[in-house]
Amino acid sequence: MNKWPQLDYLGWRETCSALHLYLQVVGKYRLAHTPWLNHSWNATFYVTPRGLATSPIPDGPGIEILFDFLAHQVVGTCGNGHSISFDLEPTTVATFHKNFLRLISELGGSPTFNGRPNEVPFPIPFAEDDRDRPYDREAVQRFHKALVAIEKVFNRFRTSFVGKSSPVHLFWGSFDLAVTRFSGRRAPLHPGGVPALPDDVAREAYDREVSSAGFWPGGGGLDYPAFYAYAYPAPGGYRAAAVQPDSAFWHEGLAEFMLPYEAVQSATDPDGALMSFLVSTYEAAADLGHWDRDLLECAHGNPRQVRAPDAAGAPHTPSVGEEQVEREDGPAKGRYRLVINGVEAEMAYSRAGQDLIIIDHTDVPGALRGRKVGERLVRQAVEDARRDGIHIIPLCPFAKAQIGRHPEWQDVVQK
């Protein structure tokens, strides 16, 4: 049985819009009572086997809110053992808002927060939104089932990065499940201008370089659910990067890579299709943006397997008895390869005359990330170039970044 359900945004968009606003009510309460955490991480929701949860909110005796999409209830629990709920059903935003205020009061909290939605067109204060809204139980359960499947892949993707990374969390403003990686460098000041969102919030959210990916159920210019990926700031050549799978594309209007949910759901290997999108869009941002990938990445995590250490000061070249970089050299093309535990990494090059090679491409599988394998391949090419009296053009973004970080290698670069 396929764990990835079919999703029809147009068929449940009114329920989706209502759910979005209900999450905003609860999210704004959490925002008002939780100390600020970088990039608004203090305000998000998290996928659970039953729905979406806030995690504990430091108000009153400590309060947590769960949107239970199996029982179709909003459930509030607190530190003194009390639990209170009300049903998710056809209603108005104003009625939901009133029920939620009562729930917080009965749990011993302070139901005070900003009463206007964010990041939606023509925002109406929650207490004044009296339009009747439907609640499609089956559609909500399919949405939740999709979130559970997506969250599993997002979290697996997250394990191969040792730099700063966000949790896998749902932002109630834009209504997207997201995971973000950071280069470790400051970013240019964001221009702001996000509808119904204070500029200072947008600027704080993007004050570091990011490669971000996520999932939208639909809306905001899309009539279908989709995955997205973007970089801020977007490096030169990013929109033209080759990404996977074949159904992924660059959306000019949104200035992001998109992958329709249906393309993943209907794939022979949905998890693999989504992972290829996450990895390829990240690698495009990291390579073109000259991220220090050897420092930031590692192999995908596995249960009960401790990540191999990557201590500072470790030798750059293998010691006696370890695998050596091999070279396969031809009249027009060649490559360097390194095989560790049966997994091969390679760096390919082309000849441009007797005294010049062009490094075209570097491929280090995820299982070898974090072991400085890519650096060892480039180092070997530099040493061979010195020995043979030739020069290198590092056309490959990864090789170019490696050489750029080593001033002592510049003597072999073609000026």
Please name the residue ranges forming H helices in 305-392: 373-388
- pLDDT bin (cut points 50, 70, 90) of residue 365 is confident
Q: Buried (b) or exposed (e) across 362-382, using 16+ Cβ within 10 A?
A: bbbebbbbbbbbbbbbbbbbb
What the block records as the tokens of 68 is 């239970």
pLDDT of residue 320: 35
Nearest Cα to Cα of residue 162 among 305, 297, 338? 297
The predicted model gives 67-93 an average pLDDT of 97
Residue 1 pLDDT greater than 60, yes or no: no
At 57, which amino acid appears? I
Question: Which residues, including other chains, have CB under 8 Å from residue 247's CB and lie 6 or more apart?
Answer: 259, 260, 263
Tokens of 176: 């997207």
Pinpoint the alpha helices (H) of 76-136: 93-106
- Give the three-state DSSP class for 324: coil
Q: Which pLDDT belongs to residue 327?
A: 94
Q: What is the pLDDT of residues 25-51, one digit of tens each?
A: 999 999 999 999 999 999 999 999 999
Res. 194: pLDDT tops 70: yes
Q: Integer distance in angstroms from the first to the last C-alpha of the chain?
A: 58
Give mean pLDDT, residues 366-392.
Answer: 88
- 3-class state of residue 329 by DSSP: strand
Residues 301-351 have pLDDT tens digits of 889 989 887 766 544 444 433 678 999 998 899 999 999 888 899 999 999
Question: What DSSP letter does each residue of 159-214 carry, written as one string?
Answer: TTB-S-B--SEEETTTTEEEEEEEEEEE-PPP----TTS-HHHHHHHTSEEEEEEE
Q: Does 353 or 137 have the greater pLDDT score?
A: 137
Two tokens, residue 181: 């990686």
**Burial per residue of 89-102, b for 16 or more beta-carbon CB atoms within 10 angstroms, e otherwise:** eebbbbbbbebbbe
Give the orientation angle of helix 270-288 with respect to helix 137-158, to 10 degrees.
Answer: 50
User: Residue 313 has what pLDDT?
Assistant: 52
- pLDDT digit string (tens) for 236-251? 999 999 999 999 999 9
Q: Looking at the predicted structure, is the pLDDT value of residue 405 above 60?
A: yes
Element of type H or E holding 157: helix 137-158
93 close to 18: Cβ distance less than 8 angstroms = yes
Give the model confidence (pLDDT) of 136-145 as tens digits: 999 999 999 9
Q: Which comes out higher in pLDDT, residue 77 or 314?
A: 77
Alpha helices in 52-134 (DSSP H): 93-106
Residues 67, 65: Cα–Cα separation, whole Å: 7
Radius of gyration, alpha carbons of the chain = 25
pLDDT at 378 over 70: yes
DSSP annotation of 219: B
Euclidean distance between CA atoms 56 and 64, whole angstroms? 5
